[in-house]
Amino acid sequence: MQICLAAFLRWFARRQGDCRKESLVMMRVRNKETFKRVLLSSGMVVCLFLTGCAERTTDYFYRGGAYYHKDEYDGAIFYLSKAIEINPKGANAYNNRGLAYNRKGEYDRAISDCSKAIEINPEYAMAYNNRGNAYNNKGEYDRAISDCSKALEINPVYAEAYNNRGLAYYNKGEYDRVISDCNKAIEINPRYAEAYNNRGLAYAKKDEYDQAISDFTKTIEINPSQAEAYNNRGNAYAKKGEYDQAISDYTKAIEINPGYANAYYNRGVTYNKKGKYNQAISDFTKAIKMDPKYAMAYNNRGIAYYHKGEYDKAWEDVHKAQSLGLQVPPEFIKDLREASGREN
């Protein structure tokens, strides 16, 4: 509102010419009734002007939100910046612009905006949570945990903050804490699909595959279109040696998201284990097409070619994987050398 008022005063001064002319106008008011009418008229103009500023801020804010929900983050940032320009004390606009920057992978800008929102409103739990999420994406897990903990201090029933803190603990390898935080998130919101999925990932890391499968299944029950949950359940089935179930889940993940390179890769690995090398090669090739720097896909396609006796193609994939920085297992190199009669 301060910017709007200043803008009005500049407009009013221009309208009157200069300060002296404005004083002369006031001096020409010859009686109290006229003076009251002038004040009332000026006040109405100020009120209308400020109302217009507020309306424009709200309009820009909601436009930004609409673009965000359409995954059009540049548009969201543009309109939220307009809202901030009019009202620099709008904590919500800073917070939401930070969310858009986070989705774009511009984590430092996301952190800066969430920090500004917190400066304006030190009790803004959502801004702490969102800044924690950005820190997590940057790999600064302790800061992420600190921010999510602060959000929970402000709002002890904030399910998303428990889930996000659990993600940071997951990235630190503290799986029991992940499970504890996800339990709390699920207690607050029993339909929180992401918390079930993340708890399932932690159980899988602890080799508790049946519990992991149960959580991934619950995730799918709540959100049948979550490709990641099918992929994750497929991984758990594969760890148990239930390869057909795994392939079925990877296939469903690909059906939901045809651009899911990891699901193609995982299905290829499972086909390799079943000795279905042509299907494996096909899946690794698709994964590589989607992600040309997918070193593990080259490595495992090389293994499939090795089992088919196509040693030259196996060597090509080994060299490509190595060029991408992958340390190819020495035992595979040894077997390939013996089978192909080549050193490299």
At 53 the pLDDT is 58
Q: Which residue in the block uniquely carries the two structure tokens 């603990």?
A: 169
Q: What is the pLDDT of residue 3?
A: 42
Question: What is the chain's length?
Answer: 344
- Residue 127 and residue 136: Cα distance in Å, rounded? 14
Mean pLDDT of 130-139: 98
User: In this prediction, what percent of the chain has a pLDDT beyond 70?
Assistant: 84
Q: What is the pLDDT of residues 263-273, one digit of tens each?
A: 999 999 999 99
Q: How would residue 57 be classed by pLDDT, with cut points 50, 70 and 90?
A: confident
Closest CA to 286 of 315, 305, 256, 264: 264
CB-CB contact of 118 with 111 (8 Å):
no
What pLDDT score was predicted for residue 170? 98
- pLDDT tens across 161-176, in order? 999 999 999 999 999 9
pLDDT for the residue 284: 98
| pLDDT averaged over every residue in the chain | 88
Using alpha carbons, list the distances in angstroms from residue 10 to 47, 57, 86.
Answer: 15, 20, 15
What tokens were used for 118? 């917190």
Q: Tell whether the model's pLDDT for residue 5 goes beyond 70.
A: no
pLDDT of residue 288: 98
For residue 24, what pLDDT is reported?
A: 33
pLDDT at 110 over 90: yes
pLDDT digits (tens, 9 = 90+) for 81-97: 999 999 999 999 999 99
